[in-house]
Structure 1
Amino acid sequence: MHNVGLLLNGNFEYSPSKDQMNDTRVMGDYAIPYWKITGFVEYISSGQKQGDMLLTVPEGAHAVRLGNEASIEQEISVTRDMYYSITFSAARTCAQSEKLNVSVAPGPESGELPIQTVYTSSGWDSYAWAFKAKLGLVSLLIHNHGEEEDPACGPLIDAIFIKTLYPPNATQGNMLKNGDFEEGPYIFPDAPWGVLVPPNTEDDHSPLPGWMVMSYTKVVKYIDSAHFAVPRGARAVELVSGLETALMQEVSTVSGRSCRLEFSVGDAGDGCAGSMQVRGYAGQGSATVQYNSHGTGGHTRASLEFAAEENRTRVVFVSSSYITKGDGTLCGPVVDDVSLVCVSHQQPPARRLRRL
């Protein structure tokens, strides 16, 4: 398996034959090359109209739409016990509270991706989801269990990529795993909107290795230096959901040791302007970082000193403000280059008794 690649016909440019189509609806289970479909699946061309709405496609000329209880499925060759992330683009069409189920069999690897909030002005968002391969051949399933009156209502899906993840380990210089966020899901090189990481409470299977996204229905945005201002390196995280989402990692610590958490807070250079506030928590300590953004990039460095009180310490970041760009889309502060170091208190040397 390559480190990263488009799934076979992952952009749906190989079309069904006309005799397996009823208008836009795909009629045969295997009509879309390399995919198995179930339920009400439509093959959508860019520029197609639905009522007064023009349907756009993020990559190439075609995408699929999943109606009520519809799904697409493909078998993928992987390496057993390796970690993988899936990145794909999705757009809401006419429903108000759409969700997508992504799963891999054999499992029980599955996740529910909330897609009711749109984070781009184009209407397309890219999402990431991760899994650990149980076997060398797995089956990826994307399913819409919508219950809309119109069976044609449902999300558009396009551009499905897979990437091997190599979760980094903590080091002596940084007790946090992936504190620089350099390891993460595939980001489309020609998509200037980043990748949304949905809620996940399993850091082992996070598309952002080491980190968990704590939320009910909101996300964080994974961004790259090709399209955004990143404080350090090539990747960072933008907290786009205010108080509704926390970025968290649990670290093994030794009770009583003095610790120092350092991190960068800035803006993504994406026109997100205003007063930003990030709260960083570690153990019983907390630090609030104010950053006045002009939306043109830049960052500040912050630190928090605390004493570890248990053998597990949670490091948490939350944006305390909701910010929108001029086009009405949600945005927020960027967090990057996070490090945690704990040191034991130096004990005075033991006094020796001199024998007379």
Structure 2
Amino acid sequence: MPEKNIQKHTFSFHTYRKRKKWEIKERTLEGEKEERKIGEIMAPNNDRCKWSSIFMLLLSLSLAVSVAVATDKAPLVEDGLVINGDFETSPSSGFPDDGAVDGPGEIPSWKSNGTVELINSGQKQGGMILIVPQGRHAVRLGNDAEISQELTVEKGFVYSVTFSAARTCAQLESINVSVASVNANEGDTLASRDVDLQTLYNVQGWDPYAWAFEAEEDHVRLVFKNPGMEDDPTCGPIIDDIAIKKLFTPEKPKDNAVINGDFEEGPWMFRNTSLGVLLPTNLDEETSSLPGWTVESNRAVRFVDSDHFSVPGGKRAVELLSGKEGIISQMVETKADKPYLLSFSLGHAGDKCKEPLAIMTFAGDQAQNFHYMAQANSTFEKVGLNFTAKADRTRVAFYSVYYNTRTDDMSSLCGPVIDDVRVWFAGSKKIGAGFGFGVSVFVLLVIGLV
């Protein structure tokens, strides 16, 4: 190759290398400029990210503190036995031989004040054997003594407390059940009721009772207190099996003015207890253990279940006790001067109750008694009462005509069972559904005479 061409190619190669180096340098400088520009643009965003990180850290710390506080608070109470509600959890030092409780925290999950005893099944006091309703242990409250437990509930809801109770020395013993604010002073309560233990409803010497309250706060203290003052400071009621249930008022059916007429909504019932639950006097239908209903009289009525009693329909019903002293009632919505029909199921609880069984029924200004007539294939019958409403609200009520007792012990109180209570406008096409066989025969006879 000629020398001139070699020099030319050499020059071109060197020129190419220099040009490439210059282009690379230019691109590098441009890249650095772009990075500086991006950095200048992102600088405020980086600051925002920094503050966002700080904010998220503070929020996490706040949530951690909230969780710690929530964890320290008692969990929301569930339906059923409250914590150590049967008193079968042993104290740290074991169950005392003499029953005496040494300090306010000796009963696990409960606080005590005054003379409080953890009694044992079969324990004697003089010549008397102390009654333990269920299990092996229960609590006896002496003069002005009390036990309490803090519960977390839902504000605005109605709760029913079920507990078993028995009296010991005194004929006129009673027990006060109440709820109070956690930090309330002694005697300051949100709701309270004295439950009379004077009447023995069965020969076993104890009964389950129910009492309801509306939760005005989310955190309350459930208190059981002996309000009595006896000569013997250890005398006092025995309590056991304390449970709670959040109640819901059933919606009123379109074809029935009665709320909870089938009695399916009510207090907590223990499956291993065959005595039902007594509903003592309660005139406030808004805070009733049997939603929609009130117990007007001095004596209780019995809430019964299909596991231990004959129930006309569903799983629950009401047994009327103590004659006129056991009245259950409800104010139902009506229209003045309009005809209505009150119908219900009447029957036998299957608890060996001595006949005759009869109830007095009220609907507005109408009253009529109905006798239960035992039938071969059924333990209940449908009966009804026509009435004309006089106002926008009409009282319907029931009580047992007789004071009935069981045939096997002649002492335990019993009575007729009612269920499926309905009140509807008498112009309804369903009017015939409320009557029993006897009423149907009566209608046929009238038609035949006409």
TM-score by length of structure 2 reads 0.73
1:187–1:20: structure 2 CA closer, same or farther, 3 Å change rule? closer
CA-CA distance at 1:115 after TM superposition: 1.1
Task: Give the partner amino acid of 2:425.
Answer: C
- Give the Cα–Cα distance (whole angstroms) in 1 for the partners of residues 118 and 197 of structure 2: 20
Match of 1:70 in 2: 145
Q: How does 1:128-207 map to 2 (within 5 A)?
A: 128-207=210-289
Q: Is this contact kept in 1: 2:80–2:268, CA < 8 A?
A: no
Match of 1:123 in 2: 205
Match of 1:256 in 2: 337
- Give the Cα–Cα distance (whole angstroms) in 2 for the partners of residues 264 and 20 of structure 1: 49
In the alignment, structure 2 segments of 5+ residues that lack a partner are: 1-75, 182-188, 429-450
1:335 equivalent in alignment to 2:418: yes
Match of 2:102 in 1: 27
- Which residue, out of 268, 273, 278, partners 2:349? 268
Task: Give the partner amino acid of 1:94.
Answer: C
- Give the Cα–Cα distance (whole angstroms) in 2 for the partners of residues 143 and 344 of structure 1: 52
Q: How does 1:11-26 map to 2 (within 5 A)?
A: 11-18=86-93, 23-26=98-101
Q: Is this contact kept in 2: 1:97–1:115, CA < 8 A?
A: yes
1:5 equivalent in alignment to 2:80: yes
Match of 1:287 in 2: 368
CA-CA distance at 1:293 after TM superposition: 5.8
Q: Please say which of residues 42-51 and 202-211 is displaced more in the overlay.
A: 42-51
Q: Is this contact kept in 2: 1:287–1:303, CA < 8 A?
A: no
In the alignment, structure 1 segments of 5+ residues that lack a partner are: 346-356
- Give the Cα–Cα distance (whole angstroms) in 1 for the partners of residues 228 and 108 of structure 2: 25
- How many residue pairs get matched? 343
Match of 1:81 in 2: 156
- Give the Cα–Cα distance (whole angstroms) in 1 for the partners of residues 233 and 91 of structure 2: 20
Q: Is this contact kept in 2: 1:21–1:27, CA < 8 A?
A: no
- Give the Cα–Cα distance (whole angstroms) in 2 for the partners of residues 222 and 213 of structure 1: 12
Match of 2:290 in 1: 208
CA-CA distance at 1:58 after TM superposition: 2.4
- Give the Cα–Cα distance (whole angstroms) in 2 for the partners of residues 196 and 77 of structure 1: 25
CA-CA distance at 1:289 after TM superposition: 0.4
Task: Give the partner amino acid of 1:220.
Answer: V
- Give the Cα–Cα distance (whole angstroms) in 1 for the partners of residues 102 and 400 of structure 2: 46
Q: Please say which of residues 223-232 and 120-129 is displaced more in the overlay.
A: 120-129
Q: Is this contact kept in 2: 1:272–1:293, CA < 8 A?
A: no
Higher helix content, 1 or 2: 2
TM-score by length of structure 1 reads 0.92
CA-CA distance at 1:292 after TM superposition: 4.5
Match of 2:170 in 1: 95
Q: Is this contact kept in 2: 1:229–1:297, CA < 8 A?
A: no
Task: Give the partner amino acid of 1:269.
Answer: G
- Give the Cα–Cα distance (whole angstroms) in 1 for the partners of residues 254 and 179 of structure 2: 35
CA-CA distance at 1:256 after TM superposition: 1.0
- Give the Cα–Cα distance (whole angstroms) in 1 for the partners of residues 86 and 389 of structure 2: 48
Higher strand content, 1 or 2: 1
CA-CA distance at 1:128 after TM superposition: 0.4
Larger of the two Rg values belongs to structure: 2
CA-CA distance at 1:169 after TM superposition: 2.4
- Give the Cα–Cα distance (whole angstroms) in 2 for the partners of residues 287 and 105 of structure 1: 43
User: Which digits, 9 at most, give the CA deviation of each residue in 1:70-121, with x for residues without a partner?
Assistant: 1110111111111111101111112101111111114531111111111122
Task: Give the partner amino acid of 1:31.
Answer: E
The 3-state SS of whatever aligns with 1:182 is coil
Match of 2:22 in 1: none
- Give the Cα–Cα distance (whole angstroms) in 1 for the partners of residues 415 and 80 of structure 2: 30
